[in-house]
Structure formats: C-alpha cells, structure tokens
A and B are shown apart, each in its own frame.
Chain A
Amino acid sequence: MDILQMSASAGILIISIVLIRLFAINRLPKTMFIILWGIALLRLMIPFSIPLNFGINNILKKYLTGFLIKPTALPDGDQIKRVFFFQGTEHFGINTAVLFDSYIFVWMAGVAITAAIFAFFLYRGHREVRTALPARDKFLIDKWLSKQKLKRKIRILVSDKISTPLTYGVIKPRIILPKQMDFDNEAQLNFILTHELVHIRRFDALWKFVLVFTLCFHWFNPLVWVMYVLSNRDMEIACDEKVIRIYGKNKKTDYAMSLIEMAQRKSGFTPLYSNFSRNATEERIISIMKFRKTSVISIVLSLLLITGAASVFIKSTANFIFKLNGEFSTVEGGRYSYQLDENGKITVKNAGGKVVSTAVLGSDGKADLTDADGNIIKKLDVAVPEILKYGKVARPPLYRAEIGQNGKVTVKDADGQIIATGTTDNAGTTDPAGSDAYIALKDADGTIVGSVVVNNNRVTRLLIQDKKQAS
C-alpha cells in the first residue's frame, strides 16, 4: 500500500471523527476519541489491510481513484495515464512503481522540511526546561508523590522560564512546575500534579512523538494536520475527564477554577510537551463542566463507532478493469492515441478521434500499432506484470509463453522451468488475420493444465489452471 492510499483512507476517517466531535463531543466519553485518533494514526502508519469484500476502501476506489492518476513519461516521450487496476483474473496488472517518479522527491523534501521544523521547536522547548531545579517547598509535593504508585520514577522540578506546568519524558518522566505558582495551595497542586500524572500514565509523551513522526510523512494531507491539532487537544480533554473521575464529580468546579487560574499565562509552541494551552482551555472548561457519568448507551455507541472506524483497515477486493490510455506522435508528425481495454485489445485513433486500427497486446506486453494503411507507427511495450503490491508480497510474473520456430508453444515459470507445452496447428505460419487459435497446454505427464490463445503467431491469452494467477 502506498502512502497516498494510507493518507486518503485515513483522511476519510479523520473527517468522520471531526464530524462526530463537532456534534457529540460532550455526550461521549472523551477517552473514546483518543481511541479513534489512535485508529487513524495506525492507518497512517501501517500499510496493510485485511481483504474482505466491503469497507471504506471500496468506496474510496470507486470515487476517488481519479485523484490518484499521475501522468508519467515513457522513454520515447509518450504520455501515459493509468486509469485503473486489474486484479483477480488471467490478465495482468501494471507496474505501479513507474507512476510516481518525480513526486517522490517532492514528498521526501516535504518530510525533511517538516521534520526540521519540528526538530527546531523541540530543541527550543528542551532548552527552556532542562535547567529546571528541584523544588524548594517540597512538603506538599512529596506528600502527593508518596501517594503515587507508578512504576517509573517521576521527578518534579521547578523552572522560572515557563508559565504553565508541563510534563515530558517517557522512561524518566518529569513534571516541570512554573516558579510563579502557589506551592502552598494543596488542592490546586494536587489537581495539577494528578493531571500531569495521568499524562504520564497514558504515555502521552510517546503518543505525541508518534503523532509528530507520522505527520512528517503525511505532511501533504491537510487532514492529518487537523488530526494533529485535534488529537492533542483531545488528549488534554481526556486527561481532564480522568482527573474528575479520580477526584469525584463534585470537584469539577474546583478543578475548572484551577485551570482558569493557571491558563491565564501564555506559553509557546511545544510539540512534545503536554501543557496548559490557552486556546484549548475554553473547550476543556466546557467539557469539564459538562462531565457526566458514562451511561451504557454511550459505551455502546462508542464501541459501534470504534468498530466502524476500524473498518478503514479492510481492503477492497473489488475487481478493477485494466485500461491504458496513451498518446504519441510519429516522426512524420502524425498524432495518435491508443486505448488498451480489459481484454487486451488495443484501439488506435488518429488526432481526429477516428479509429484507424486495432491490435492485441501480447502477454509479453508487446504489440505493433499500425495506422490506417497498415504501416507500423508504434511498437508498444508495456511493463508487464509485476503484480501489484496491495498488501501482498509482490510476485513476479508467473508464467511466460513463447512460440518457437516450429510452432511449439512453451510455457515457462518464473524460474525458467518449462511447465507446459503445446503446438500450433499451422507450425508458425500466418493465419488469416484475426482468427484465434486455442491450443491446449500439457505438462510433462501429458495432463492438460491450461490453454493459450494464439493470434497472428502471437500468444494473446494464457490460462494456467491452478490457484495462482497467470499472465
């Protein structure tokens, strides 16, 4: 699966999450939203899918493939547009690697730039907090610490360079408190420390890193940026929800007040630190005040939504039709277009759109295109089956059929071993043009294993009867 597909199908999920969030954020447990974002994140990072016959990818392919067309140049200056794929029958797919040439460099540049920008902010943030000092008024802090049972050791420090508390560090988590806070206000201190503790317990520092990492690769997709902003906010909101669960619903006003007090200061952009941000504060306060105990309905609804979201991993197995459109010019200045359809038949049209000839693509990918007078105007050579990588391991063309001088048809497998043979009736001489000769193929034991269709001394269709795909 390539990055465009991952990005597109995650994009659909992201839009859905945004819509759900818009309408129902205060009616569903906030923790569900971070699960949903997690699914979107996985979709962006994992290139595999489960093959089933339905799912969001089918819809995607049907309606969105148009976006994914990219022109690429053939060696002699043709323009080729791939329109669809073919999968699942005896014809071939097409080598997808050809299609994204120069765009790959643009993408890589984007990844590098995005990564550099984040690295810059990360470095700047780190410089501010690394000079934090152990707290002096430690009494209440130690009291809170002694009640915590986290496996990892938490260090709590104070800095005069920040204005709101933050936490970072995965293996050695640290909470940095601003110097200008009231270290004697036990209630407020407990709220703040517990909030940061929830971040630590949930490994939010790690998730933030993964988000940034993924965003770098999907920099071109504005929906992924939306996901980045919203999922960070939702991490905070889910954290608040947890704090209220810990302290009890009747404390929610006190908690909201302490948030408002802390949030009255500004803080800079810190991509990896969980901290109190003023922009999102209003959303958080509302969410806190609207906190309600989780009802059965909301749990059921959440599970449904999550299952629906996970369907983004189901791979489409809808058959596509392989077509190829091409255009070219001849030395004499004639302009032609050709179209290859799913049966391997090529139709050649002139500049006026009138059909001038037809041809059949051989299973070796070659065909001679002629003009209205029968002169060969183009020798078509299509890169024949490297079977597409749709979550499966790419397989090389399985079988090649060749017609020898004596009219003997030989079919070889990928290793070059002869697996079947047949003979043409007319020993390689030209048939009256246009008639297809069906020839049975037998293996070394004389068992019929398939057939070839020969036309004009070329193999046009090859069918091997076993479970594997044949070309």
Chain B
Amino acid sequence: MKIKLFDSELKVMEVLWREGNLTAGQLALVLKEETGWNRNTTYTVIKKCIDKGAIERLEPNFTCRALITQEEVQEQETAELINKMFSGSPELFFSTFINSKNFTKEQIDKLKQLVEKLK
C-alpha cells in the first residue's frame, strides 16, 4: 500500500524512526527545536500522517507510533524514482548514479562489498 508523504510529514516520521514512539507533546518539542514549528503546526502534520495511515495514535497521552518503516519509504520512493526517471530500469539508475558522484576509496570498497554480498 503506497503512502505519499509530503516533506513535512516525512520530517515527523524521521523523528519517530530515530527516537521511537513519542507522545504528540514530545514530538512538538523536538520539532520546535529542529524546525521552528509551533505546536499547532506539528499537531496538524501529525494528524495528516494519521489520516494517511503512516502513524497510529495510541492512548494514553496521544502516543504516536510509526506504522511504516524508513526502509519501506526508501524502497517506495526509489522505485518511483526509477520508474519515473529511468524507465523502470534499476541498472540504468545505478549506472547513472555511479557515474555522477565522486566516490572516495572507502565508499567504493563498501559498494564492492555490497555487490559481492548479493551474488
């Protein structure tokens, strides 16, 4: 099931992925710190996430629990990107990606290891 999240909603999810379950109040405090949003704004975004099925509201205290994982969202977004920009071809995506960035030696080694693991 595909969930489309705006940047603001993703930000809320990031906090939950990082910190685990938090109450809405705690979320508001963290986000105030990290983005400058006021309480009402945060609460509105949380509500949007709940409506989209990304967050579950638990009682007591309006605790928020992420219903999707970061990996799930990453996969989803990447798949969409590949479909949209690379004609659905992961190899095309991958080769473009490799050629466009300047990788350090360590990064290249790490990538090699990943590919090895897949074999």
Contacts and interface: CB of A to CB of B under 8 A. Distances in A.
Which of A131, A133, A161 has the most C-beta atoms of chain B within 10 angstroms of its own C-beta?
A: A131
Size bracket of the B interface: 10 to 19
A204 to B, nearest CB: 22
Nearest to A155: B36
B35 interface: yes
Contact of A133 (B11, B38, B44): B11
B37 interface: yes
A249 interface: no
A131 B9 CA distance: 9
A134 interface: yes
A455 B6 CA distance: 87
B36 A131 contact: no
A231 B57 CA distance: 48
A130 B38 CA distance: 9
Nearest to A127: B44
B7 A130 contact: no
A443 interface: no
B37 A159 contact: no
Contacts of A132: 8
A158 B36 CA distance: 13
A127 B47 CA distance: 14
A160 interface: yes
Contacts of A155: 36
B6 A161 contact: yes
Interface in B31-54: 34-38, 41, 44-45
Which of A127, A133, A158, A159 has the most C-beta atoms of chain B within 10 angstroms of its own C-beta?
A: A133
Which of B7, B35, B38 has the most C-beta atoms of chain A within 10 angstroms of its own C-beta?
A: B7
A131 B35 CA distance: 9
Interface string A208-246: 000000000000000000000000000000000000000
B44 to A, nearest CB: 8
Contacts of B6: 131, 160-161
B35 to A, nearest CB: 5
Given A134-B35, A155-B36, A179 B7 contact: yes
B36 A159 contact: no
B111 to A, nearest CB: 23
B35 A130 contact: no
Nearest to B8: A131
Interface of B is mostly: helix
A133 B41 contact: no
Contacts of B37: 130-131
A133 B37 CA distance: 9
Contact of B45 (A131, A134, A160, A179): A131
Given A155-B36, A160-B6, A161-B6, A130 B41 contact: yes
Contacts of B38: 130
A130 B45 CA distance: 10
A179 to B, nearest CB: 7
B45 to A, nearest CB: 6
Contacts of B36: 134, 155
Interface string B1-24: 000001110010000000000000
Interface in A133-180: 133-134, 155, 158-161, 179
B99 to A, nearest CB: 18
B34 to A, nearest CB: 8
Interface string B40-82: 0100110000000000000000000000000000000000000
Contact of A159 (B7, B41, B44, B45): B7
Contacts of B8: 131-133, 159-160
Contacts of B34: 134
A98 B95 CA distance: 83
B86 to A, nearest CB: 19
Contacts of B45: 131
A131 B37 CA distance: 7
B7 A160 contact: yes
A133 B41 CA distance: 12
A158 B6 CA distance: 12
A342 B66 CA distance: 84
Nearest to B48: A131
Contacts of A159: 7-8
Interface in A109-137: 127, 130-134
Contacts of A131: 6-8, 37, 41, 44-45
Contacts of B44: 127, 131
A159 B7 CA distance: 7
A161 B44 CA distance: 15
A134 B35 CA distance: 6
Nearest to B12: A131
Nearest to B42: A131
Closest 10 pairs between A and B when the two form their complex, measured CB to CB = A131-B8, A160-B7, A130-B41, A133-B35, A160-B6, A133-B11, A133-B7, A131-B45, A131-B41, A134-B35
21 contacts: A127-B44, A130-B37, A130-B38, A130-B41, A131-B6, A131-B8, A131-B37, A131-B41, A131-B44, A131-B45, A133-B7, A133-B8, A133-B11, A134-B34, A134-B35, A158-B7, A159-B7, A159-B8, A160-B7, A160-B8, A161-B6
Given A127-B44, A134-B34, A155-B36, 4 more contacts: A130-B38, A131-B8, A131-B41, A134-B36
